[in-house]
Structure 1
Amino acid sequence: MTILHYIHDPLCGWCYAATALLEAARARPEIRLRMHGGGLWHPAARLREGQRQHILEADARIGALTGQVFGPGYRALLADPETVFHSRPTIAALLAVPEPLAPAMLRAIQRAHYVEGLRVVEDGVLAALAMELGLDEAEFRASLAAAPVEAHINTTRRLMQRVGATSFPTFLAERDGNIEIVPHMDCYEDPAAFVARL
């Protein structure tokens, strides 16, 4: 059994790029996934002009490499100076759903953000996504409010420091108590090669 530790952020474009890698790994029964949200946008922030351009350039590379879609709603979100980027609510949403549903919730958040341009930092948007997954709205909102998100982010950052991880996403393979970073940057176009490394 290999435990795949996925250090990510729902609002990280390169984590969106890694969707196919994650799905290929999850399809293997001998691989167990553990997700660790790291808080790329923490505390909340609005984009500066230089940041906006950097993100657009990265998005173009991601689209060319992986075919991932960046919709007009998302581009409008980037262009709006009032748009707030904040990882905390999205990571809390992943903690608020039953663990087996966390990957599906991550995909839903990414689709809502990158394709539809919805403001996924808002509780109402996150609750609507949870309901699409079949969850009860009131129960999800209660779990969202109670999610231990600060402790989770802090634990993830300590893990990153311990293994020398400096970016999102980072994949770690754990076997027999030993953890090592799994290189993935050359696998965006070849998920099977990534799985073979695991």
Structure 2
Amino acid sequence: MKTFEQMIDGYRNFRATEWQEERTRWQQLAEGQSPQVMVISCSDSRVDPAQILDVAPGEIFVVRNVAALVPPFETTPGRHGVSAAVEFAVQFLKVREIVVMGHGLCGGCQAALTQDLHGNEIGEGGFVAHWVDMLDEAREPIAAKYGTSGREAELAMELEAVKVSLTNLMTFPYVSEKVASGELALRGAHFAISDGILRLLDRDSDEFSPAE
């Protein structure tokens, strides 16, 4: 894996090739952004939504965090980073779609499933545990059916986490209002790292199936 110093060589190559070739586009982007799609995905280094969806700079507004989670709408004191991003995307950028994209072999979902980090101190997994505990309720039927280890249980947790985030998005008043009016659509997706398959959630059947 590359160090940051090695990545600077990549920047120099980008600056000399792609940036030069697309200079007009970069000048346009300097005037502002107008993406139609917001993507909420995991921070995992293996799942870059821009690469997976093959989009150019300026085409998607992206928020990445552990397990691609969206907390429910709340106004309590604190730093609400995901909520701020959703607010900006929906109310200011006027995006037309929000995609929650989970992925295979997600460490955050594994932590939610096993609860190994629950009770850990801050700096020793405590922040992660508190973040993924929003999946505790969804975890119970999965653990009862599949246990808390193994790929079948992990996949079920990954898919359910996407649904939890979609449900939580609907607790934002301005999101639910725009969904009801047809101005905004919410979508769920799951990318399998090992086979490269993107699965999309059918909201009618509540099932994921490969994108065609």
The two structures share one fold, judged by TM-score above 0.5: no
- Identify, as 1 or 2, the structure richer in helix: 1
Q: TM-score, normalised by structure 1?
A: 0.31
The structure whose Rg is larger is 2
